[in-house]
């Protein structure tokens, strides 16, 4: 908010909206999850962990693929660390 000089009132309004929607979402997930797995909470736990691991794996595979493409597009002779860096003329440094 401060770095981009976003108006405080507007930020607080959006922040309050986000906090309320997050709270409602969390409460509903807990309530509906409790109803669905009332008789077998271990299955609910395993489902939650499985979903979390699946989403994490998908995100990491996408990141890996994007990084691989970026390195492949880099000029020959550059290493993977500097492949994403923007090159500047020597006199601009």
Token pair recorded at residue 43: 């299955």
Q: How does pLDDT run across 14-70, given as a tens digit for each residue?
A: 999 999 999 999 999 889 988 999 999 999 999 989 999 999 999 999 999 999 999
- Same domain as 48, residue 32: no
What's the pLDDT band for 4 if we cut at 50, 70, 90? confident
Is residue 40 within a helix (H) or strand (E), and if so which, with residue range? none
- Same domain as 55, residue 71: yes
Q: What is the pTM of this model?
A: 0.52
Q: What is the domain range of residue 11?
A: 1-36
CA angle 50, 51, 55 (to 5 degrees): 120
- Same domain as 20, residue 5: yes
- Same domain as 52, residue 31: no
Of 71, 93, 72, the C-alpha closest to 82 is: 71
- Same domain as 48, residue 31: no
Please state the domain count of the chain.
2
Domain membership of residue 54 (yes or no) is yes
Domain membership of residue 1 (yes or no) is yes
Region of residue 40 (phi > 0: left; psi between -120 and 50: alpha; otherwise: beta) = beta
- pLDDT score for 14: 95
Which residue is associated with the tokens 């409602």? Answer: 24
């Amino acid at each position: 908010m401060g770095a981009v000089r976003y108006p405080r009132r507007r930020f607080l309004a959006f922040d309050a909206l986000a906090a309320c929607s997050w709270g409602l979402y969390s409460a509903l997930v807990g309530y509906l999850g409790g109803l669905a797995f009332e008789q077998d909470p271990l299955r609910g736990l395993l489902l939650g962990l499985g979903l979390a691991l699946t989403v994490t794996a998908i995100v990491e595979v996408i990141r890996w693929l994007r990084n691989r493409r970026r390195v492949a597009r880099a000029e020959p002779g550059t290493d993977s660390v500097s492949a994403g860096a923007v090159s500047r003329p020597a006199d601009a440094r």
